[in-house]
Chains A and B, each alone.
Chain A
Amino acid sequence: MNTLGEEESEWEQLNQTNWRGLGITDPIKNVEDKWLLLPAFLKVKGLVKQHIDSFNYFVDVDIKNIVKANNKVTSDVDPRFWLKYTDINVGFPDRTDLDAIDKSVTPHECRLRDITYSAPILVTIQYTRGKNVVRRPNVNIGRLPIMLRSNKCVLTGRTEAQLARMTECPLDPGGYFVVKGTEKVILVQEQLSKNRIIVETDSVKGIVQASCTSSTHGGLKSKTYVATKKGKIYLRHNSIHEDVPIVIALKALGIQSDKEILLLTAGNTDAYKIAFSANLEEAAKLSVFTRHQALEWIGSRVKVNRKVVGPRRPAWEEALEALATIVLAHVPVNGLDFRSKAIFVATMTRRVLMAMDDEKMVDDRDYVGNKRLELAGQLLALLFEDLFKTFNSNLKSSIDKVLKKPSRTNEFDAFNTMQFQGDHITSGFVRAISTGNWSLKRFKMERAGVTHVLSRLSFISALGMMTRISSQFEKTRKVSGPRALQPSQWGMLCPSDTPEGEACGLVKNLALMTHITTDVEEEPIIRLAFMLGVEDIGLATGTEIYGPHTFVVNVNGTIIGLTRYPTRFVTNFRRLRRAGRFSEFVGVYVNHHHRAVHIASDGGRICRPMIIVEDGRPKVTSEHIAFLKKGAATFDDFLRKGLVEYLDVNEENDSYIALYESNIVAATTHLEIEPFTILGAVAGLIPYPHHNQSPRNTYQCAMGKQAIGAIGYNQLNRIDTLLYLSVYPQQPMVKTKTIELIGYDRLPAGQNATVAVMSYSGYDIEDALIQNKASLDRGYGRCQVLRKNATLIRKYPNGTFDRLADAPVDENGQIQKKYDIVQLDGLAGVGERVDPGDVYVNKQTPTNANDNTFTGQAAAVPYKNAPMTYKSPVAGYIDKVMISDTENDQTLIKVLIRQTRRPELGDKFSSRHGQKGVCGLIVNQEDMPFNDQGINPDTIMNPHGFPSRMTVGKMIELLAGKAGVLSGKLQYGTAFGGSKVEDMSRILIENGFNYAGKDMLTSGITGEPLEAYVYFGPIYYQKLKHMVMDKMHARARGPRATLTRQPTEGRSREGGLRLGEMERDCLIGYGATQLLLERLMISSDKFEVNACQECGLIGYNGWCTYCKSSKHMANLTIPYAAKLLFQELMAMNVVPRLVLGDA
């Protein structure tokens, strides 16, 4: 305690000015090692903090709000009955097995056993039992899948040793769910911000429209438009049939006077007044003058989609209700005070007027500040609300059912009914997460593909998946806007990491330091704003609102008041935030175009931390960093002390941010922590990315996810469907700071290959690589492929069950070769070699498994073989056999089969610069060129790969790698920094090498020196998962499809190689008729038919069933598909007749 106090005071001293306005921290040129804030940030937040924060918010806060909003269940039968939820909590994951003694469960067990990692949802209920009120705590209403490393996860806050005991990798970021044994990620969804006005134009139709999607707690979503139509302005909403003239709408909202309407919309600007006047006229034409008339007008056009209960209400009441609750639902209406909603509509109208007058006032939909990211927590909250409501309505109906009965033997206890409600909530969660279909009828939400299986191809692919953002835009729409790189995504979204092709630019990735906000309560913020001198909007008229010196103050898109001193207000507001008086994630900024101050506290905003600069001096000093280095301070201390703050995109654009200390001028407000954080985790692997052509970095981002390497410390304990592992992974010679931060140096995917950039043999054209055979012999590029094969030993409803059997013996008492490895328990032994066709699980199923009438002895039933046979063309080894039980007590057997592969011709490799290539030739060591030290390259790369690709970063990587090898140090290739080429060259010279990295090589074939110097050194090469062994395929004859008798399709079905339409066209054009006939019929589905020359129909056996004769039968060969077509046509009453003639 004492030491802590001392440190505190030391901190204070640092921040004090000591003498003549100078502190000990003066003068500052550069903040040494300020990048150390980054690991400090990641230490606090973790790599996937967005997901985890969001889930924690749901579990700790949101779930309570949802229950509070739906906390009462009553009965239609018995008005005295009620049931109330007073509290809800999510417990810790536990085992559901009834007979378990140790209830604790680890995520890894769930993965292995194909069960769900979930925790009970416990509620406290109060309800009436007879005349008493009963309180029951900890009532289980269902189970919630738990996000790994969240507050509720058993892995959170554990040390490496504890994690190791739970067979969990300490580098695994968490943030995903384990549902039915598969790891599922809920991808971040990108959406347009809610409750904000967005002005758009359609230049073709000449329409200007302001739209606002309202979203309130309760999930109701509706979109309201204020749009121009033929020069006049209308309010449009889905619940109203017809467009409402804006003046009528405003009158209905309680602003009756035309003068006031004009003031609230056009203000005192003449241009706007002229543009608006036509609208006033229209209302008069429709003879709508009073509020009542306006409500009547709207009321007769409101869609009523309620089941009619009781007498029909007058139109104006319908209108009032629609305006109060459906149109712009997020703007609060207290009692019948529509003033704030009226002002909101007026503001929308004014924005339309402004946009009509000036093109520049149109908003940019693609601006990142107008985007919100929806995370797992929000999606789960929606799902939970839906499930909980259904749960309650089911509960209510079953309670009603019981209460309806006139006499009961014992007193009705709602708790018992609750216990028999089934697992609606549990199965709802599991179904949604495992299928990815978020279909919530209550909110008219139908979304597929929300969740994805976490890709465990490599550590990077898993990490890349956690930072991925998918957009709601359609992929087919041909608009470039949403796909383009937005300047405002600087530092927030990675500029490199996006897929190529159809999803290009729509799927994005978060940058390294991005944080996504969660909801912060807005009432205290509003109160604070008023305390800081904001005048309530309810007291203002149009003149004041649009007065020359007033700024409107918005909180989360809703106008709350006015201020005449926006700068002072914002400064004070920020000062309070830096002092920690309210959440650091509340953003505030001034929009000078709209003359508005915006305060944002909603969730889903993208933000990132930045160093605060005051009076031209960064507040973080080297001394602070020294504290950080000592471990005496954490990132949160920096936040609390007001040295660092989070800025969201909108606030960032209202700030003056210096990239480096040297750029700081008087007006500077912030300083970047580190420039390389504009890249994401995946792009951060690339050394010297700032020297590469930008698409190359994008290609590497895609390929880094396919690289074979280590995937986690627990990789050997995992049983995944498909697991690729490298035998000898190495950390790269040229690292980046990102690599160290994300742990890629501990879970690498690649090897440092000695590369000679030269041409060799002609088998290296088109990016093919030459590999040294001796290197491959010694283990370069060697990888393991482990494939899971699972089966259930089932118990059937009729009492029968599957069984495992030992190897059968044939009549000679010999065991068949294919059962060689099956042991007495019916399973193959671990370590045994499995040849193609071998049986490794000798399962047998009862012949009458599905016969529900069977009542006999289960043990006496006849069995048939249902063995699992090994299908791959290359032998493998049994790596593991696991026997376990699933949640519903079925025996589960998983067999992991391993192949170890050395690189072969055609295997794909890539450097970290988007330069992929296949192995074109494997050359013996003695044929490889060698340098003066006798070093042979592992790989030869053709220099033609460089000029057009412009991957200068790769060249520098080689240089830095070579210098690193010579000096015995790892070098850095961090973006916008890293080891300098000049220093690298100096190291080369000092070690007697050429400064340019070019060595004099001797040909291994002739023994003479090569006439050119060769760029020679280590480059980090990744082996990609595309291997020839998994792709090679040929067929001479083989299986055919039953329906058409044509060869099957695809490698997995041993299919044929199709001579397609275009190839057919070539043959027709060439006139190779016999070849055509052979390819299309004889080698495919030739079929002999008997056709009648008389009637043209197909008969059989030389007999025409139509003509009842065998006279005119002809024998001909046609494709079976043609015969099938004729028969199908006949089945639908079309007679195809063959007209035969001699060819």
Chain B
Amino acid sequence: MSNPTLINGFDTRRHVGVHAEQVSHVSSTDYPGHYPGEDNSWDLDAFKKRLNLKVQRLSNRSVAFDLVGVDASIANAFRRILIAEVPTVTVERVYVWDNTSVVVDEVLAQRIGLIPLNVDPSFMDMKESPSDQATDRNTLVFRLRVACTRNKNAPKGSTNPNELYINSDVLSSHLEWVPQGEQMTVMASNPPAPTNPNIVLAKLRPGQEIDMELHAIKGVGKDHAKFCPVATASYRLLPKIVLNPQKPVPPHLAEKFQKCFSPGVIRVDPRTKAITVDEEKARNESMSREVYRHPEFAGCVQLARVRDHFLFNIESEGFYPPERLLPEAIAVMRGKIANIRKVAEALLHDSDGPGDVEMTDT
């Protein structure tokens, strides 16, 4: 693909070009054999020097951090593992004793499955196969027993179901943990419960009743989205705005130019109308490419993204505090690497064998 003329400051080795109609230089090139005469082989020291991780924001439910100096494949592996392979515990089997609500069993079961639980998966074993016997090591039991009745003390003339009836909404807080075996002692410090008590599962009216037994097991997100520990885990590349010194923005258009970017990204000198990029806030740029729409700014600016600078955003929705998620993902990845190493070594040792080695998960 022919690339539009690039202006100074845009480095094809480091930057992904963001043009009006396409994206250029998306893949990294720093591997051996790409540039004649350069080595570029992986070097731990150089990697260590470049690698940088900085938490930008941390709250109860989410974390934003910069991961700098790794290849897209590594960053992506963390993202993928966070979504698909960090185990969590959620309801898998629902035994319905009674359900007279309007929400049918299958739908209610699906809704219950999606409730995140505050259970540390490391306390539990993974069931090897679905037919495995449920034990106190691999299964948590909850009970959901709700019956709706009329509220005798309801204010007169009220039409609000919450006032008129008791238990008109079935909430996740109605889940009741039933400890099995040694669970009582092991989990006493942090009794299993939904992380969010206010999830509406169904609505009831007087006379309707739900009575179910729920079995929660440990699982991973690739089997079902309910096991996913994150609401989302994703990253974007650090935006880079390269101004063309050869073609400055005309002073009378400076405000318009500023408006083409996210707030605060472009600074306009109030007097000289000179334009500068606020490098601190450049990370907020949403890359709307609005500036390319206006012919008067053609050639003034080149948008780009830094290829090895990942702005991660992870929203936790479950047991893990957001800051623990990346280490968990790394742990899963190390497990996988260890597995590969083990298998590879087995292959090496067994050089006169059939050449096939069983690779077990985790």
Q: Closest approach, in angstroms, between the C-beta of A5 and any C-beta of chain B?
A: 34
A478 to chain B, nearest CB (A): 50
Known: A877-B105, A877-B106. A1011 touches B26 (CB 8 A): yes
Size band of the interface chain B makes with A: 35 or more
A1009 & B305 in contact (Cβ 8 Å cutoff): yes
User: At the interface with chain A, which of B147-155, B180-188, B217-225?
Assistant: B217-225
Chain B residue with Cβ nearest A774 = B225
Is B141 on the interface with A (CB-CB < 8 A)? no
Residues of A within 8 Å of B160, CB to CB, are none
Q: A877-B105, A994-B289 are in contact. Are A777 and B72 (CB under 8 A)?
A: no
Chain B positions 73 through 114: 1 when the CB is less than 8 Å from some CB of chain A, otherwise 0? 101110110011000000000001001001011110010001
A1004 at the interface (CB under 8 A from B): yes
Bound CA–CA A988/B75 (angstroms) = 29
Which listed residue (B104, B225, B234, B313) contacts A879, Cβ 8 A? Answer: B104
B305 touches A773 (CB 8 A): no
State whether B79 touches A924 (Cβ < 8 A): no
Q: Does A932 touch B at the CB level, under 8 Å?
A: yes
Query: Is there a chain A Cβ closer than 8 Å to B158's Cβ?
Result: no
**B23 and A925 form a contact (CB under 8 A):** no
Task: Spell out B's residues near A (CB within 8 Å).
Answer: 1, 16, 18, 21-24, 26-27, 72-73, 75-77, 79-80, 83-84, 96, 99, 102, 104-107, 110, 114, 221-222, 224-226, 228, 232-237, 262, 286-290, 293, 305, 313
Residues of A contacting B102 with CB < 8 Å? 716
Q: Are A877 and B286 in contact (CB under 8 A)?
A: no
* 12 A-B interface contacts by CB (under 8 A): A774-B225, A877-B105, A924-B84, A925-B84, A935-B232, A989-B290, A995-B290, A1004-B80, A1006-B72, A1010-B23, A1010-B26, A1013-B289
Complexed CA–CA distance, A616 and B68 (Å)? 71
A932 engages B107 (CB within 8 Å): no
Known: A924-B222, A934-B234, A989-B288. 8 other contacts (CB 8 A): A777-B225, A778-B225, A782-B107, A926-B221, A934-B313, A1002-B235, A1009-B26, A1012-B23
Query: In whole angstroms, how far apart are the Cα atoms of A924 and B80 in the complex?
Result: 10
- A778's closest neighbor in chain B, by CB? B225
| Contact residues of A between 821 and 837, Cβ < 8 Å to B | 831
Closest to A773 in B: B225
CB of A727 within 8 Å of the partner chain: yes
Asked if A978 is an interface residue, CB under 8 A from chain B, the answer is no
CA distance A1013 to B16 in the complex (A): 13
Check: A779 CB closer than 8 A to any chain B CB.
yes
Select which of A831, A925, A1012 is within 8 A of B96 by beta carbon: A831
Least distance between B116 CB and chain A CB atoms (Å)? 13
Q: How many Å lie between the Cα of A1010 and that of B290 in the bound state?
A: 19
Per-position binary interface string of chain A over residues 712-736, scored 1 when its CB falls under 8 Å from any chain B CB and 0 otherwise: 0000100000000001000000000
In the complex formed, the residue of B with least CB distance to A786 is: B104
Return the CB mask of A961-984 against B: 1 if under 8 Å, else 0: 000000000000000000000000
Return chain A residues, CB-CB under 8 Å to B305.
1009
Give the chain B neighbours of A177 by CB distance below 8 A.
none
Is B288 in contact with A1009, judged by CB distance below 8 angstroms?
Answer: no
Q: From known contacts A925-B83, A1002-B236, A1006-B72, infer whether A1012 and B22 are also in contact, taking CB-CB under 8 Å.
A: yes
Give the interface size bracket for A toward B. Answer: 35 or more
- Cβ contact within 8 Å between B233 and A934: yes
**Bound Cα distance A1007, B236 (Å):** 10
- Asked if A930 lies at the interface with its beta carbon under 8 angstroms from chain B, I say yes
CA A992 to CA B285, docked complex, whole Å: 8
Cβ-neighbour of B104 out of A778, A898, A993, A1002 (below 8 A): A898
A934 touches B106 (CB 8 A): no
Which A residues are in CB contact (< 8 Å) with B76?
A: 1002, 1004-1007
Does residue A900 face the partner (Cβ distance < 8 Å to B)?
A: yes
Q: Are B228 and A925 in contact (CB under 8 A)?
A: yes
A995 to B291, CA, bound (A): 11
What residues of chain B lie closer than 8 Å to A989, measured between beta carbons? 288, 290
CB <8 Å contact, A727 and B236: no
- A1007 to B23, Cβ gap below 8 A? no
A777 touches B224 (CB 8 A): yes
Q: How far is the CB of A959 from chain B (nearest CB, A)?
A: 14
Contact partner of A932 (CB less than 8 A), chosen from B24, B106, B286, is B286
When distances are taken between beta carbons in the complex, the residues of chain A under 8 Å from B228 are 774, 925
Contact A727 B26 (CB under 8 A): no
Q: Is the CB of A784 within 8 A of B236?
A: no
A1008 interface contact, C-beta 8 A: yes
CB distance from A1080 to the nearest CB of B (A): 46
* Whole-angstrom distance between the Cβ of A1093 and the nearest chain B Cβ: 62
Chain B neighbourhood of A727, CB < 8 A: 107
CA distance A454 to B232 in the complex (A): 45
Q: How far is the CA of A934 from the CA of B75 in the complex (A)?
A: 14
CB <8 Å contact, A995 and B293? yes
Tell me the A764-779 residues at the B interface (CB within 8 Å). Answer: 773-775, 777-779
Complexed CA–CA distance, A477 and B176 (Å): 71
Q: How far is the CA of A924 from the CA of B1 in the complex (A)?
A: 31
CB distance from B206 to the nearest CB of A (A): 16
- Docked-complex contact A1009 and B23, CB < 8 angstroms: yes
CB of A934 within 8 A of CB of B232, answer yes
- Cα A90 to Cα B292 in complex, Å, equals 74
The minimal Cβ–Cβ distance linking A904 to chain B, given in whole angstroms, is 15
Interface residue ranges of A924-946 to B (CB < 8 Å): 924-926, 930, 932-936
Assess whether B288 is in contact with A992, with CB atoms less than 8 Å apart.
Answer: yes
CA distance A775 to B18 in the complex (A): 30
Chain A: which residue is nearest B239 at the CB level?
A: A932
> What residues of chain B lie closer than 8 Å to A779, measured between beta carbons?
110
Interface centre among A779, A933, A936, A994 (most CB of B within 10 A): A994
Query: Does A804 interact with chain B (Cβ within 8 Å)?
Result: no
Q: CA of A716 to CA of B221 in the docked complex: distance in angstroms?
A: 33
A883 within 8 A of B: no
Query: Which residue on chain A has the smallest CB distance to residue B233?
Result: A934
Specify the chain A residue showing the minimal Cβ separation from B103.
A727
Query: Is A1007 within 8 A of B75, CB to CB?
Result: yes
- A877 and B109 CA atoms in complex are apart in Å by 14
Residues in B with CB closer than 8 Å to A782 are 107, 110
A950 within 8 A of B: no
Q: Which chain A residues border B107 with CB–CB below 8 Å? A: 727, 782, 900
> Measured between C-beta atoms, what is the minimum distance from B31 to chain A in Å?
14
What residues on A are CB-neighbors of B21 within 8 Å? 1013
Complexed CA–CA distance, A714 and B256 (Å): 56
Q: Measured between alpha carbons, how far is A794 from B22 in the docked complex, in Å?
A: 74
Contacting residues, chain A, for B27 (C-beta < 8 A)? 1008
Residue A315, interface by CB 8 Å: no
Q: Interface 1/0s, chain A 592-634, versus B by CB < 8 A?
A: 0000000000000000000000000000000000000000000
In angstroms, how far is the closest chain A Cβ from the Cβ of B263?
Answer: 9
**Inter-chain contacts of B1 with A (CB < 8 A):** 1011
Q: Does A1076 contact B (CB under 8 A)?
A: no
Q: Shortest beta-carbon distance, B92 to chain A, in Å?
A: 13
User: From residue 1071 to 1128 of chain A, which have CB atoms closer than 8 A to chain B?
Assistant: none
Contact residue among A778, A925, A1007 (Cβ-Cβ distance under 8 Å from B114): A778
The verdict on A579 contacting chain B, using a C-beta distance below 8 Å, is no
> CA A441 – CA B79 in complex, angstroms?
77
Instruction: Give the complex CA separation of A478 and B234 in angstroms.
Output: 61
A1000 within 8 A of B: yes
A774–B220 alpha-carbon span in the complex (Å): 12
Q: Chain B residues near A831 (CB, 8 Å)?
A: 96, 99, 105
9 closest A-B pairs (Cβ-Cβ)?
A1007-B76, A934-B234, A992-B286, A777-B225, A774-B225, A900-B106, A1007-B72, A926-B80, A934-B232
- Least distance between B294 CB and chain A CB atoms (Å): 11
Q: Closest residue of chain A to B231, judged by CB? A: A934
| Residues of chain B contacted by A1011 (CB below 8 angstroms) | 1, 22-24, 26
The reply to whether B290 and A994 contact each other, CB–CB distance below 8 Å, is: yes
B99, chain A: closest CB distance, angstroms: 7
| Residue contact B225 to A1000, C-beta cutoff 8 Å | no
A residues in contact with B286, CB < 8 Å: 932, 992-993
- Is the beta-carbon distance between B83 and A926 smaller than 8 angstroms? yes
Inter-chain CA distance A1004–B232, complex, in Å, is: 13
CB distance from B46 to the nearest CB of A (A): 21
